[in-house]
A and B are shown apart, each in its own frame.
Chain A
Amino acid sequence: MGTIHHEFMSSALRMANLAFESDEVPVGCVYVHDGKIIAEGMNDTNRSLCGTRHAEFLGIETILQTHPASIFEETDLYVTVEPCVMCASALRQLKIRAVYFGCANDRFGGCGSVLRINSDEGVERPYPAYPGFYREDAIMLLRRFYLQENEKAPVPKAKKSRELKTDFSPLDLGKYVPRAEIEQLYGKDALASLEDGKDSSEKEA
C-alpha cells in the first residue's frame, strides 16, 4: 500500500465515485504524464445514450484538446476497471506507455481477461497492463451500483442477488503480469498482501 500507483488510483476512484453519483456505471480514470495528472475521465454512457462513452475516451479527448497525440507515448493510465476490448485497442493505437487498473473485467476486458489486445502482435507497440490497485474498492463500487440498479428494476431479481457481497475471489496476477515483473512492480508487501488474499479465500472455499 501507499505506492505512487495507489495514490493515482485513489484519484481514479474519486472519478468512479462521481460516476456512481451521476447514475453511471462507476468507472473512473486519470492520465498521468511526468508525475502529474493531465486528465480525468468517468463513464458517460447513460447520459449520452452512447455505449462507447467510456471513462478512458473522455480523458483522451480532454488531453487532445491541448496536446498532440504523441504525448500518450509518455503517459500512463490509471483506471478502476480493466479497459474493455474497445478501450484497450484505442490505448494501443495511441501508444500509451502503461496501464494500471483496479479490478479485472471478466465480460469485456481487453488487457488479459477476455482478449490480450495490449500484448498481442499488432500494428502499434504493445503496452503493459498491471491489475490489482485498490481492486476491492473498485469491485465494491460496482457491486453497490448494480445492487441499486436491480432494486430500481420493475421486477427485482431473486433475494440472493439483492445482498451486497463483501467477499473477493483471488486475483490471478500471473494472468496479467509476467512472473518476472510481479515482485519488482508491486513490491514485496503488495505481493504478499495479494497472496494473503488468495490464501484466505482459498481457506474459506
Chain B
Amino acid sequence: MSPSVGVSALDETVSKNASETYLHHKEPHNHNHRRRVSIASLKAPDSASLFAQVKSRHERTELELVDVWTTMIPAKIATTVVSQLKQKLPKDPHTLMHLRRLVKDDLPPRDESGVLLSLLICSVDAVPSEDDVRALLDPLSELVTTPTPDERLFVPTIKHAPAFAAPTKEQSKEWSEGTWPIMWRGNPHLIVSELPQEDEEELKGHLERLLDLTEEAHNAGEIPIATIITDPETRQVVASSIDTRNSSRNPLSHSVMSCIAKVAAAELARRNAVAEMSNSQEDASNQAYLCHNLQLITTHEPCAMCCMAMVHSRISRLVYVQNMPRSGGIDRNSGPGYGIHWNKHLNWRFEAWGWNFEDILMYDVDENINA
C-alpha cells in the first residue's frame, strides 16, 4: 500500500471524529504495536522514582477563611481545659489541624488569674449555636478557683481562621496576620512526592496486569485502555475492566466507569447473599463510601467524567500511565486544567500519581479520546 496516501486519509478521519476511528479498526493489527517491556525488571535511575505525584494548580494559593469559636482561659489550667474539651467536641467538618490550639494574648491579664491564653474551640459549622458552645464551656469554667476571675474567661467569641494550611512558610506568616495563626509544619503536598518503595513494587505487578488487559482489549477490537481497582491494605485486586465503548456502542463505557460499577455490583451481591443467609437487611447507609480507601490504577489519564466518578465513589489514590493532554481531568496541563482530584470546591480529594519513566504501553490511543 502507498503509505503517504493511507496515512493522510487516516489522519483526516482521526481529526474529524476520533471516537469513530476505532470503530473502523476492528482488525487487531491496525493499532500501532510496540514490544512489551517487562515492568518488574524496570529500575528507575538513582534517586528517581517510577511515579511522580500530579499536583494541580488548585493547590491553595489564596487565603480562605473559616469562622471558629474561641475563648480566653487562664494559662495555668490550659492543658486540663484542652484535654477535657477534646472529649466533648463533635467531629469537626473542617480540618483545624493546621491551626494553633492556644495563642498567647497581647493584652495583659487584668486579675490574679495570671497569664491568659486564647483557646481555639471548634469551627462554627461544628457547633452553630452559641448556647451550645456555652454549655461546653460552663463545666470547664468551674476549674477556675480565683475569687474574682476575669470576665472575658470562657466567653465564646467568633474569630476568622485560615481554612487551610498555606503552601509556603512565608504565606503561612502572611495568612496568620489578623486571623487565627497557623502552625507551620511544612506543606504535606510538597513533602509527599515519592511513593513508598513497597507501594512502587506492588504497582509494578498491577501494571503488568494492565498490559495484559490492554492486549485483551486490542484483540477484542476495543480501545486499549484498562483499569484495575485494588485494596492497598490487602494489596489484592478488587475489580478490573477494559474499555468497551466499541462493542457496547455506548461512548461512555470507559474502563474506569465499568470498574467502579463492578465494585458496586460485587458489594450488592455480597449484601444480598448476607441478607438471604441471615434473613435480615444489612444497613446500606455507607454506600456513599463505596471505594473509600481503594486505589484505582489505569493506563490513561481519565476524562472529567471518570475523575468525578472517582470523587463520587471516594477513591483514595489514582495511578495512571499516560497523560491525555486534550481530554484528561487531572493534570494542570490537560484540557482546561481541571485538576478534579484536588479541586477545593468538590467534597472529596484523592492523590494522583503519574508514570514517570519510559513508555510501557504497547498501543497508541488517539489524543482526542476521552479515557
Contacts and interface: CB of A to CB of B under 8 A. Distances in A.
A150 to B, nearest CB: 13
A95 to B, nearest CB: 9
A46 B281 CA distance: 14
B303 A89 contact: yes
Nearest to B327: A123
B313 A51 contact: yes
Given A69-B251, A117-B304, A50 B347 contact: no
27 contacts: A45-B287, A49-B268, A49-B290, A51-B288, A51-B314, A52-B309, A52-B312, A52-B313, A53-B264, A57-B252, A64-B250, A85-B304, A85-B311, A85-B346, A86-B309, A87-B305, A89-B329, A93-B305, A93-B370, A114-B345, A120-B335, A120-B336, A122-B327, A123-B18, A123-B327, A158-B129, A160-B129
A174 to B, nearest CB: 19
B338 interface: yes
A61, A87, A108 interface centre (most CB from chain B within 10 Å)? A108
A49 B261 CA distance: 9
A39 interface: no
Contacts of A85: 304-305, 307-308, 311, 340, 346
A121 B337 CA distance: 10
Interface centre among A69, A87, A90, A94 (most CB of B within 10 A): A90
B325 to A, nearest CB: 11
Contacts of A158: 128-129, 132
Given A86-B309, A108-B346, A114-B345, A60 B268 contact: no
B252 A48 contact: no
Nearest to B314: A51
B249 A50 contact: no
B219 to A, nearest CB: 24
Nearest to A149: B285
Contact of A49 (B249, B284, B335): B284
A158 B290 CA distance: 28
A6 to B, nearest CB: 29
Most chain A CB neighbours (cut-off 10 Å) among B251, B284, B303, B338: B251
B288 A94 contact: no
A51 B335 contact: no
Nearest to B344: A114
B305 A48 contact: no
Interface in B331-352: 335-336, 338, 340, 343, 345-347
Interface in B234-276: 248-252, 257, 260-261, 264-265, 267-268, 271
A107 interface: yes
Contacts of B209: none
B287 A51 contact: yes
Contacts of A49: 264, 267-268, 271, 284, 287, 290
A12 B174 CA distance: 50
A160 B130 CA distance: 13
A98 interface: no
Contacts of B252: 57, 60, 90, 93-94
Interface string A69-99: 1000000000000001111111001100000
A107 B252 CA distance: 23
Interface string B21-51: 0000000000000000000000000000000
Contact of A93 (B251, B264, B335): B251
A66 to B, nearest CB: 11
A194 interface: no
A160 B128 CA distance: 9
Interface in A155-176: 158, 160
B294 to A, nearest CB: 12
B368 interface: yes
A112 interface: no
Contact of A69 (B250, B305, B307, B326): B250
A88 B312 CA distance: 14
List the 8 closest A-B pairs by CB distance, nearest first: A50-B264, A86-B308, A51-B312, A89-B305, A89-B304, A85-B308, A51-B313, A120-B336
A68 interface: yes
A117 B346 CA distance: 14
Contacts of A160: 128-129
A90 B253 CA distance: 10
A184 to B, nearest CB: 27
B343 A123 contact: no
Nearest to B335: A122
B304 A114 contact: no
Contacts of B312: 51-52, 84, 86
A26 interface: no
Contact of B264 (A48, A88, A108): A48
A41 interface: no
A51 B326 contact: no
A53 to B, nearest CB: 8
A77 to B, nearest CB: 14
